[in-house]
Amino acid sequence: MKIGIVCYPTFGGSGVVATELGKELALKGHQVHFITYTQPIRLDFFNENLFYHEVNISSYPLFQYPPYESALAGKMVDVVKYEKLDLLHVHYAIPHATSAFLAKQILKEEGIDIPVVTTLHGTDITVVGKDATYKPMVTFSINHSDGVTSVSDDLRKETFETFKITNEIEVIPNFVDLERFHKQKKDHFKKIICPEGEKLLVHISNFRKVKRIDDIIYTFGELKKQIPAKLLLIGDGPERPKMEKLCRELKLCDDIRFIGKLDAIEEVLSVADLFFMPSEKESFGLAALEAMACEVPVISTNAGGLPELVINGVNGFMSEVGDIADMTKNALFILADENLETFKTNALTRAKEFDIKNIVPQYEAYYRKIIAKVKGLKPELI
C-alpha cells in the first residue's frame, strides 16, 4: 500500500505514534509519505519506503495568520495525485481531518476518491474539541472520515458523549517499539545520579497543568522522609517555572533534577525504579507504556485510559486524582526490596502486549477494510 500520514511533527504523543507507525509500515514494505510542516522528530532513519513532503505556507500582508489548513489540504492533493496514494491517515482531528475532507472533495473533482482514516489521540477531543469554536469542525470531520480510530476505549466513549457522532469508531491502542524501548545496561549512569544507591523516580511530560507535576513533587517529598530517593523530571512546558519554585520551597532541589526535553528517554528509563503519571486526564498514557517496556512499574491515577494500561497491584498502582497519601503508600510498597523485581518483571510482561509488531497489523487490516469500503471491493482483495 501507498499511505500518506499527516501528523504534528513534535514531541507530543500523537506525533510520536504517527511517526513510529509510519516507520514500522515502511519496514514491512509499504510506501509511506509523511505530510507536515517540518520533519517529524522521530523520523530519524533512512528507508527506501519513507518519504517526507513539507507543507509550505505562503506569507502575504493580507494574512494576519497564515492559512495552514488550506496549504495542508493543497499539499495532500498534490501528494495523493502524483504519488498515487491508496489512503490518507490523519492523526489528530484539528486541523488534519478537516484539511483531509477538503482535499478529498478537490480530488473527487478529478475522479480520485481517496480513503481517509482519522485517528483521535486525546486532547483533540478532550480539550480542543470541546472549545465552542472548534466543536462543529471536529464533529463534521469525524463524521465525514471514511474510517475513525481512537487510542483507547475511554477516548472512544468520551467522543460519543461529547459530540453527535454518526460514524463508527474502532479502538486500536497505542504501542511501543520494544527494539528501542528495553532495559539497557547503564549502571554508570545510575551511579552518577544515585551515588548512594538511592531509588530513582522518573516523570516525562509536556509540563501542562493537567499532568499535575506538583502531585509528584509532594509525593516525592513524603517518600523522601522514609527512603533515600532521587527524582528526574523530563520535559518542558508552561508549568516548569512553578514546579522549580515549588522544589525550592520544599527544599528538595538537591534531590530533584529538571532535565528538559530529551530524545533518548529509553536511556534514562533503563535505570529508573518507578515512573509517575498522576495526570488529571490521560487518553492512553504512552510515556507510561514506554517506561514499562524498560521494566519500570508505574504509579498513576485511575483517569481516562490509564486503567486500560495499568493493572492495579501487578505492574503498578492507580490512585484517585490528587491522593498524595495513597500514591506515597503505593510507591513505598513497589520500591520495597522484596517487591521491586516482581513489579519490574510484570511491567515488561504488560508492555509486550502492546508491542508495535502486535498493533501495526491491526492498522493494516483496518486500512484494507476502509479502502475496500470506499472502492467497493472485498478487503481480501486489497
**Residue 315 sits in a domain of what CATH number?**
3.40.50.2000
Determine the pLDDT at residue 104.
Answer: 96
Task: In whole angstroms, give the CA distance from residue 241 to residue 237.
Answer: 9
Whether residue 181 is contained in a domain is answered as no
Residues 274 and 367 reside in one and the same domain: no
Band of pLDDT at residue 290, cut at 50, 70 and 90: very high
Q: Which domain holds residue 340?
A: 187-352
* Dihedral sign of CA atoms 376, 142, 359, 236 in order: positive
Count of structural domains, the chain:
2
Residues 345 and 362 reside in one and the same domain: no
Residues 256 and 295 reside in one and the same domain: yes
Determine the pLDDT at residue 382.
Answer: 67
Whether residue 25 is contained in a domain is answered as yes
Residues 340 and 199 reside in one and the same domain: yes
Determine the pLDDT at residue 127.
Answer: 65
Residues 68 and 210 reside in one and the same domain: no
Residues 99 and 233 reside in one and the same domain: no
Residues 52 and 191 reside in one and the same domain: no
Residues 360 and 348 reside in one and the same domain: no
Residues 6 or more apart whose CB falls under 8 angstroms from that of 185 comprise 270
What mean pLDDT comes out for the span 212-217? 97
Residues 10 and 123 reside in one and the same domain: yes
> What mean pLDDT, rounded, does the chain reach?
91
The better pLDDT of the pair 144, 14 is held by 144
C-alpha cell at 161: 458523549
- 14 has a pLDDT exceeding 90: no
Residue for grid cell 517540518: 38
pTM reported for the whole predicted model = 0.90
The neighbour count for residue 48, using CB atoms within 10 Å, is: 7
Residues 124 and 191 reside in one and the same domain: no
Determine the pLDDT at residue 190.
Answer: 86
What mean pLDDT comes out for the span 149-163? 93
Determine the pLDDT at residue 113.
Answer: 95
Q: Give tens-digit pLDDT for 69-91.
A: 899 999 999 999 999 999 999 99
Residues 346 and 272 reside in one and the same domain: yes
Residues 141 and 224 reside in one and the same domain: no
Q: Indicate the residue type of 68.
A: Y
Give 23-63 as a DSSP string: HHHHHTT-EEEEEESS--TT--S--TTEEEEE------TT-
